[in-house]
Structure 1
Amino acid sequence: MAQKNLNYHVMPRRGWLNDPNGLVYFKGNYHIFYQADENSMDGSVNKAWGHYATKDFQTYTRHATAVSPDSKYDKNGAYSGSAIIRDDILYVFYTGNVKYEGPYDFIHEGREHNVMRVESRDGITFEHKKCLLRNSDFPKDCTRHVRDPKLFMKDGRYHLILGARLKNDTGCVLEYVSDDLESWKYAHRYVPAKDTGFMIECPDYLQLQGEAFLLCSPQGLKKQGYEFHNVYDCGYYKISNRQLIDYQTLDYGFDFYAAQTFYNADRNILIAWIGMPDNAYIDRYEAWNQTLTMPRSIFFDKRIIQKPIQEILDLRTDRKLYTNDFVIGKSCNIEWDADSDFSLQMNAIRCVYRNHKFTLDLSACSCNRQERCITPIEIRHVSVFIDESVLEIFINEGEYTMTSRFYDDEHSLHVTSENIKRFVTYNMRGFNIL
């Protein structure tokens, strides 16, 4: 059965999508850029920047490609990056990928990761492409893998951080500073206090409730109990004296990576890729492949809390109550309170809460995803969002989340349960795409 188009998640027009890039509010619009390859289903041809804009997260305009790999500094891909506003001009920084032909390992030799910049006065058309930093500008103990520039202001100066893989196969984050977005000086590096694999991707700096955090996607974490079972993780550190401490996973599902944030209207908003690099999953696709999470409002209360933004909740319609089994369309939100153990079946999706352990079981979904668990956990409330083949679970008002793709051939969602007293359900209206 062919994959159905999604209703309230951003999809590519055709081809491949991965990391969200350049999230920004500029001249009355929220801009969501993303890694796009319209000529392949796996991102293997040549990545550029796709582009959506919206005023309200409900009606979107799909724009033409924003950044293309059309120079010698990015000829093999315009990779991930970020955006910042200065003097009413939108500046986009990204990684220009260059791969040489030959028998290289493409880690220590055979490729370039260049920090590129383009600018726009309207947020739609970009020009004045420049290469600002090359591999020779990075510390000598770095491999060729230094990428994903994130821009932010701090103490009156522009800061740029980059994820890096060092020659000793450990990850760190490099920081550069500038007064003009043109000339950059190396400042220092953020180093994890404990081993966190061989590479850090997609770094993001933010402050929540007076504390500084570094969001990132570390590669090469070793499994620890029920933690870090995905190929790569996505989480955050607290920043203390330039050290990265107290790592926490952001999402416990199968498909969540490259989370990025931006600040607007007194809220921090997070969007991530509902996917995972180098996985063994089986995804259905025909004209398009991959998607992004719903925008999530985030704040800190002992851990980073994630909730759907109000504009997404406003898409809910047709509130109903159920006290037993029911059937609902596959564009929906299902909520319930919990005061004891329970189990839930939604077509081939199974959720079980037993002895302070929550298990998401997708083994019957024929997609090579098995189980993911959170433990120990005391569950009080669960909110599940379904969008055809997308599953986003919010536990205890966003204290924990689990995000995954799933696949079945059913046109509706058949819900059965044990020890759940009452469900509140909503249908979800879809986006308008102009």
Structure 2
Amino acid sequence: MHNKYPDSIRRAEEARRQLEEQAVRSPWRQRYHFMPPAGWMNDPNGLIHYGGYYHLFYQHNPFGPQWGPMHWGHARSRDLVHWEHLPIALAPSEPYDLHEQGGCFSGSAVESDGLLYLFYTGCTFEDGQLRQSQCMAYSDDGVTFHKYPGNPVVPGPPPDGSPDFRDPKVWRHGDSWYMVVGSCRDGRGKALLYRSGDLRRWRYVGVMAESDGSLGTMWECPDVFPLEDRWVLMFSPMGMGETRGLYLVGDIDYERGRFLPERMGEMDCGFDFYAPQSLATPDGRRVLLGWANSWPWMPWFSTFGPTAESGWCGALALPREVHLRADGTLRFPPLSELSSLRHERLFHGRMLLDHGRSLDLPPSDDGCMELELEVDWPDGWGELEIALRATPDGARRTVLLCAADGAVTLDRDHADGYLRGSRCGWRRRRGTLKLRIFVDASSVEVFVDEGDLVLSTNLYPPEDARLTTITARESRAEIRRLNAWRMQQAW
């Protein structure tokens, strides 16, 4: 291994330590969502259970709060809830990944013969042209990584792809290893499939799946995994407006290298959930982690919001389990271990709210909480308005509105003076409405009917925005159960 590689890690660590002195003072630092000590982060990478820990890697610029030369940050956890930061795992250092607008792009991790292998996209620009290739690094202790001397293991895209050729996800099936890579051609997103017997020599199989013209112009961060008796292909499409992430459920014809879709759906109907990646837990569950942001509304190479003033930008959404419904579609309930973060019960009870009547919950001292509700409408469907992170004068608030036609709308037009817009999702069934709402320092995540519908958003509220108010509109609402908890920190 070249001497410059450990030097690049040391420089990155020192730069991040300097930023951290500023970042810790930010009022929008998340209390129980994962984020790096400082600097920029986007996609989760390399999720795996190895050596008794869950390992999380992530796209990271340790030199500033903006997108920049991509490194792989690293953390580990016993439960996917409480995290310990580890040294930066990968840094740009070689001709195939050393560029200020490139670096070590997203990828995945596998274990083989006791070693932990990372697969990532090396990204550079040569003569103004994008160059992306698939590369490998390995470790025998899960902390210090060595780049494979034979990199890149896949030097460039096949004729079916394009220079946009990134985000390898590797898995084992039978006696072979498989790699899916996101790409595009002629304005249509694609998932390209490779096969290997030893993780080092890869043979191109063909186009595993592709857009019919309506599913995005580029498929980023593809993920493939088994779920019960089905296979799932997930990807984040570019060029699909408000759609941030799609999944296909079906089967894989490994002889032809084709994914055979039967069902399709959206993972999150909110604003800020992108590039999710999954892993298998030792007890057989499938868990999903996603970046709590998205590219479409970000000016390229600039910042997302006011957190950059404090030397950091980016966090992950809460971990979600992936469950297969009887009809072949998916739901995404919050990870069961998240209940360990409940620190103090702020409210517990049931009540009937008449037309226009409101309930003010006891405020959390930092505005961060979890809400759990079950609601019926005795006189037929009505509206329930939940104002989250509201100021005493009501000028600032994030509103969740459950409407008569079964829609659930997340409205952030009056949340913080920075973000705008509303997103609406539709319930799958009538009857009792079940909600779990997680409010952190700079985000809200809403899980409807045990993950049948999920809506996520970021927000940057003023310090006095700590109130929560529940109001019945135009009818009576019977709150059969209401719990509110103050949350512990995850660090």
TM-score normalized by the length of structure 1: 0.91
Deviation at 1:56, TM superposition (A): 2.6
Q: Which amino acid aligns with 2:488?
A: R
Partner Cα distance (2:466, 2:234) in 1: 34
Between structures 1 and 2, the one with greater helix share: 2
2:200 maps to 1:189: no
AA partner of residue 198 (structure 1): T
Assess if the C-alpha contact under 8 Å between 2:27 and 2:463 holds in 1: no
Q: 1:316 aligns with which of 338, 342, 365?
A: 342
> Which of residues 161, 164, 169 in structure 2 aligns to 1:145?
164
SS in 2 for 1:360: strand
Q: Secondary structure at the match of 1:314?
A: helix
Cα deviation code 1:298-318 (max 9, x no counterpart): 111132221222221111132
The structure carrying a bigger strand percent of its residues is 1
| Bigger shift: residues 84-93 or 205-214 | 205-214
CA apart distance, 1:343: 1.5
**Is residue 132 from structure 1 mapped to residue 153 from structure 2 by the alignment?**
yes
- Is the contact between residue 328 and residue 412 of structure 1 (CA under 8 Å) also seen in structure 2? no
Per-residue deviation, 1:155: 2.2
Looking at CA atoms only, which structure, 1 or 2, has the larger radius of gyration?
A: 2
294, 306, 311: which is aligned to 1:276?
A: 294
Match of 1:413 among 462, 466, 476: 466
Which SS does the other structure have where 1:312 is aligned? helix
1:244 Cα deviation after fit: 5.4
Partner of 1:233: 244
**Alignment root-mean-square deviation, CA:** 1.9
Scaled by the length of structure 2, what TM-score is found?
A: 0.80
Equivalent position amino acid for 2:348 in 1: L
Q: How many residues are aligned here? A: 413
Select the residue among 218, 225, 232 that pairs with 2:237: 218
Alpha-carbon separation, structure 2, partners of 1:248 and 1:308: 18
Does 1:49 pair with 2:72? yes
Going from structure 1 to structure 2, the CA distance change for 1:376 and 1:421 (only over 3 Å counts) comes to closer
* Equivalent residue in structure 1 for 2:318, among 267, 274, 294: 294
Q: CA contact under 8 A between 2:119 and 2:137: conserved in structure 1? A: yes
Question: 1:343 is matched with which residue?
Answer: 385
Q: Which residue of 2 aligns with 1:327?
A: 362
Asked if the contact 1:2/1:284 (under 8 Å) is kept, the reply is: no
What amino acid is aligned across from residue 133 of structure 2 in structure 1?
N
AA in 1 matched with 2:434:
H
Unaligned ranges ≥5, structure 1:
103-109, 222-228
2:423 corresponding residue in structure 1: 372
Residue matched to 1:427:
486
Q: Give the C-alpha shift of residue 209 in structure 1.
A: 2.1
Q: Pick from 275, 285, 299: which aligns with 1:258?
A: 275
Change (3 A) 1:181 1:280: closer
Task: Provide the identity percentage.
Answer: 27
Q: Secondary structure at the match of 1:207?
A: strand
Q: Deviations over 1:330-359 (max 9, x none)?
A: 221011112243221121111112222111
Runs of 4+ in 1 over 6 A off after TM superposition: none
- Answer whether contact 2:435 2:450 (CA < 8 A) is retained: yes
CA distance in 1, matches of 2:272, 2:47: 20
1:362 aligns with 2:412: yes
Which residue in 2 is equivalent to 1:13?
Answer: 37
User: Do structure 1's residue 115 and structure 2's residue 137 form an aligned pair?
Assistant: no
Residues 335-390 of structure 1, C-alpha deviations (whole Å, 9 max, x = no match): 11122432211211111122221111001122233110013544620110011111
Q: Is residue 443 of structure 2 the alignment partner of residue 386 of structure 1?
A: no
| One-letter amino acid of the structure 1 residue matched with residue 286 of structure 2 | N
Correspondence for 2:188? 170
- Listed as ranges, the gaps of 5+ residues in structure 2 are 1-24, 352-358, 391-396
